[in-house]
């Protein structure tokens, strides 16, 4: 089989497309023929050696895929050959054949194409856990999504709307704002304004009758995070998802006290590994909302597997709006 391999951590351009032996499933494992693999920002961090978990070298990157079960190992009870599945793994998805434990696989709806399925795992699950588990979102609440033009951000905007909330799309590049509007955002909040510290709060207050946002889902860190803390409503909830803007922010505890604010962190992969049943419940709701036409991944490009470096470079250079999938 063909697989993308990193022999050292470094720029995506150093990846090699190599021929490897076809994998065999061990006990409790399945082998999946990859049809589409979702490319995500964390893949770039892994490849560059900047991710919190570093795989042993050499390794194949890629955290999610969709395809057909080719073979099952001893003790596999959930799947048979031919089943259409989505798979979430720590790494290894950017290959023609992928081995996964059966609990890392979920059956996908019959009508769902593989490229949609490969785009509806990581970013939608991250948005779902941020909203539902960490922020305890309730219908009618207002959610500021910082980084709304990214993969997680667009998924979060769609989910907020699908679940009955008001979505404020915080965008760092106003020229890309239309993508957030297309995803259903009620209002665009410009995070590129000169005086962001006061400017963000003024924009949020202008569209919430001076109340502020009930929740902020923050993919950015840095100045947008600091400013968003000031734009939260009383009893507001801030969810830390990522630091795409570069700086890891620090929080003054008196601020939490004065407005009864909660801050929580979200690590998607912990839910994947520790609570697969909760993950399955989350995905079932995501699939249901997809079936009802209320969620739809925005796939910007489909590239062949051996153009992985190009896909990751588009993410690195901030040229992506929505998702890129690799196909085999
Ligand atoms: N905690 C978790 O479990 C988890 C899961 C998934 C992702 N994440 C993290 O969440 C963040 C966003 O992921 P994503 O998949 O949505 O990424 P993405 O699709 O590449 O989008 C990145 C977003 O960040 C914005 N951004 C602002 N400043 C940026 C900068 N200096 N460099 C790059 N992007 C910048 C981009 O806006 P522009 O339009 O201005 O480029 C875009 O909206 C990343 O930090 C990622 O590691 C965390």
- Same domain flag for 239 and 133: yes
Contact 85, 32 (CB under 8 A): yes
Ligand 1 pocket test, pick from 131, 134, 180, 318 with the greatest ligand atom count within 8 Å of Cβ, gives 318
Residue 110: pLDDT band with limits 50, 70, 90: very high
Task: Give the DSSP per-residue string, 129-145.
Answer: IIIIIIS---TT-EEEE
Strand segments, DSSP code E, in the chain are 2-5, 16-19, 29-39, 64-72, 84-88, 97-101, 105-107, 142-146, 166-171, 187-190, 213-218, 232-240, 262-265, 299-304, 323-327
Confidence grade of residue 52 (pLDDT, cut at 50, 70, 90): confident
Considering the domain boundaries, does residue 285 fall inside one? no
Any domain includes 310 = yes
Instruction: Check whether 53 has a pLDDT greater than 90.
Output: no
In a domain, 274, yes or no: no
The domain that holds 199 is classified in CATH as 3.90.180.10
Looking at every residue in the chain, the average pLDDT score rounds to 97
Neighbouring residues of 46: CB distance < 8 A, sequence distance ≥ 6: 53, 54, 55, 61, 91
Residue 17 bridge partners (DSSP): 4
Q: Report pLDDT digits (tens) over 204-255.
A: 999 999 999 999 999 999 999 999 999 999 999 999 999 999 999 999 999 9
In the structure, what pLDDT confidence band is assigned to residue 30 with cuts at 50, 70 and 90?
A: very high
**Structural domains in the chain (count):** 2
Averaged pLDDT for residues 49-70: 96
Q: Are residues 87 and 62 in the same domain?
A: yes
Domain hosting 111: range is 2-120+297-327
165 shares its domain with 264: yes
pLDDT of residue 33: 98
Give yes or no: residues 145 and 88 share one domain.
Answer: no
Please, are residues 60 and 326 in contact by the beta-carbon 8 Å criterion? no
List Cβ neighbours of 277 (8 Å cut-off, separation of 6 or more).
Answer: none
Q: Are residues 223 and 314 in the same domain?
A: no
pLDDT digits (tens, 9 = 90+) for 146-192: 999 999 999 999 999 999 999 999 999 999 999 999 999 999 999 99
Does 82 share its domain with 169?
Answer: no
Residues 201 and 227 in one domain: yes
Q: Given pLDDT bands bounded at 50, 70 and 90, which one contains residue 111?
A: very high
250 and 115, same structural domain? no
Is residue 91 located within the same domain as residue 134? no
> DSSP secondary-structure letter at 95?
B
Ligand 1 near 242 CB (within 6 A): yes
Q: Which two tokens stand for residue 7?
A: 């022999």
Q: Are residues 116 and 127 in the same domain?
A: no
- For ligand 1, whether the C-beta of 126 sits within 6 Å is yes
Task: Answer yes or no: is the C-beta of 244 below 6 A from any ligand 1 atom.
Answer: yes
Q: Are residues 50 and 165 in the same domain?
A: no
Task: Tell whether ligand 1 has an atom less than 6 A from the beta carbon of residue 222.
Answer: no
pLDDT given at position 190: 98
When pLDDT is cut at 50, 70 and 90, the band that residue 124 belongs to is very high
Same-domain check for residues 157 and 229: yes
Residue 317 lies in a domain: yes
Query: What is the structure's pLDDT at 295?
Result: 98
């Amino acid at each position: 089989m063909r697989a993308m391999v990193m022999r050292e951590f470094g720029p995506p351009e150093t990846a090699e497309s190599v021929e490897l032996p076809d994998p065999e499933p061990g006990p409790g494992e399945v082998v999946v023929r990859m049809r589409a693999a979702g490319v995500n920002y964390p893949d770039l961090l892994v490849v560059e050696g900047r991710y919190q978990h570093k795989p042993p070298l050499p390794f194949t990157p890629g955290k999610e895929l969709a395809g057909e079960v080719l073979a099952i190992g001893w003790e596999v009870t959930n799947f048979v050959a031919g089943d259409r599945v989505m798979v979430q793994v720590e790494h290894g998805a950017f290959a023609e054949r992928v081995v996964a434990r059966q609990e890392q696989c979920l059956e996908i709806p019959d009508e769902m194409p593989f490229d949609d399925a490969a785009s509806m795992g990581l970013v939608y699950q991250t948005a779902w856990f941020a909203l539902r588990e960490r922020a305890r979102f309730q219908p009618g609440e207002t959610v500021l999504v910082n980084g709304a033009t990214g993969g997680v951000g667009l998924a979060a905007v769609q989910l907020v709307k699908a679940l009955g909330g008001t979505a404020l799309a915080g965008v760092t590049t106003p020229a890309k704002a239309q993508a957030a509007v297309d995803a259903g955002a009620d209002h665009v909040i410009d995070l590129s304004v000169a005086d962001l510290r006061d400017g963000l709060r003024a924009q949020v207050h202008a569209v919430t009758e001076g109340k502020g946002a009930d929740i902020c889902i923050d993919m950015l860190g840095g100045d947008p995070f600091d400013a968003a803390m000031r734009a939260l409503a009383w009893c507001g909830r801030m969810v830390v998802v990522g630091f795409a803007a570069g700086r890891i922010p620090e929080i003054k505890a008196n601020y939490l006290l004065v407005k009864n604010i909660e801050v929580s962190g979200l690590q998607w992969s912990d839910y994947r590994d520790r609570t697969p049943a909760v993950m399955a419940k989350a995905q079932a709701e995501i699939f249901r909302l997809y079936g009802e036409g209320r969620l739809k991944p925005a796939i910007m490009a489909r590239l062949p597997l051996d153009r992985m470096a190009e896909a990751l470079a588009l993410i690195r250079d901030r040229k992506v709006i929505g998702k890129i999938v690799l196909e085999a």
